[in-house]
């Protein structure tokens, strides 16, 4: 069955995201080192984010709240309030930054949008993701947008049901093996993995846990078009 619907992840697939978290986290590390020079700030923050994930979910607001909590905990509440105000400001800066597209995104989507139904399928904070899409200028290329609180087999199955998509006619394109590849292939659909320069610790997957087939890894989004035609048999003349 030819591919009919192509899903795209947003953060670090269409636009830069994780590098911004990295920049802020670097500033956070420097700020805390002034108060607790020996602290392992990155590890402690990662643990805090993991601990808070089931309460806060994903996104910049959750990250900001976890930074504040980590700062208070690591300094045993000795960090000055003015420094916490600085952290609040970083969160707002991240939320207000213009959406910066990855290389080749716009022309690739434009090329695909006439031939396939394109869906944006992201996770994270609803308000922040809608705001990023609005600022990206890519809105009209997508037939629909699905913002999920978590990307797993259940939530992808929900998307397929809501939109009448058969797994065999769907390809997901994204930078996360855990969120964009593994659950999609599990449902019998296809996936294209395009690694981003940085991967958030919570998104890591052991290579052994990866499916053997049903997905491919590409170096950049520009190759998606060719691969859709060649590998997944979506070209009209193919068997």
Which residues are near its own copies by CB under 8 A?
52, 55-59, 61-62, 64-65, 68-69, 72, 75, 77-82, 84-85, 88, 91-92, 95-96, 125-128, 130, 144, 147, 149, 162
- CB 174, min distance to its own copies, A: 19
Nearer to its own copies, 66 or 108 (CB): 66
Nearer to its own copies, 48 or 177 (CB): 48
- CB 31, min distance to its own copies, A: 14
Tokens of 136: 């990206």
- CB 28, min distance to its own copies, A: 16
Nearest 5°: phi and psi at 11? -60, 120
- CB 142, min distance to its own copies, A: 13
* CA nearest neighbour of 50 among 39, 64, 66, 29: 66
Nearer to its own copies, 9 or 128 (CB): 128
Q: Which residue has the tokens 């991240």?
A: 94
Nearer to its own copies, 27 or 130 (CB): 130
Nearer to its own copies, 39 or 229 (CB): 39
Distances (CA, A) of 79 to 32, 70, 71, 75, 161: 8, 11, 7, 6, 50
Distances (CA, A) of 211 to 183, 186, 216: 10, 8, 10
Q: Quick one: angle between helices 60-74 and 18-33, nearest 10? A: 20
- CB 60, min distance to its own copies, A: 9
């Amino acid at each position: 069955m030819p591919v009919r619907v192509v899903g795209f992840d947003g953060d670090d697939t269409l636009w830069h995201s994780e590098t911004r978290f990295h920049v802020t986290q670097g500033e956070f590390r420097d700020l805390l080192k002034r108060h607790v020079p020996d602290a392992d700030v990155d590890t402690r923050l990662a643990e805090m984010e993991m601990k808070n994930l089931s309460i806060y979910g994903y996104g910049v607001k959750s990250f900001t709240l976890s930074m504040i909590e980590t700062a208070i905990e690591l300094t045993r509440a000795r960090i000055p309030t003015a420094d916490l105000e600085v952290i609040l400001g970083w969160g707002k800066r991240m939320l207000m930054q213009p959406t910066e597209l990855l290389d080749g995104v716009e022309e690739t989507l434009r090329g695909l949008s006439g031939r396939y139904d394109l869906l944006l399928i992201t996770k994270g904070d609803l308000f922040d993701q809608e705001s990023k899409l609005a600022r990206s200028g890519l809105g009209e290329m997508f037939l629909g947008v699905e913002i999920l609180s978590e990307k797993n087999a259940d939530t992808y199955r929900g998307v397929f049901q809501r939109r009448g998509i058969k797994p065999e006619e769907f390809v997901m394109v994204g930078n996360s093996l855990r969120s964009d590849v593994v659950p999609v292939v599990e449902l019998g659909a296809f996936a294209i993995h395009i690694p981003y320069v940085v991967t958030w610790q919570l998104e890591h997957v052991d290579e052994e846990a990866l499916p053997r087939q049903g997905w491919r890894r590409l170096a950049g989004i520009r190759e998606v078009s060719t691969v859709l035609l060649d590998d997944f048999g979506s070209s009209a003349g193919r068997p």
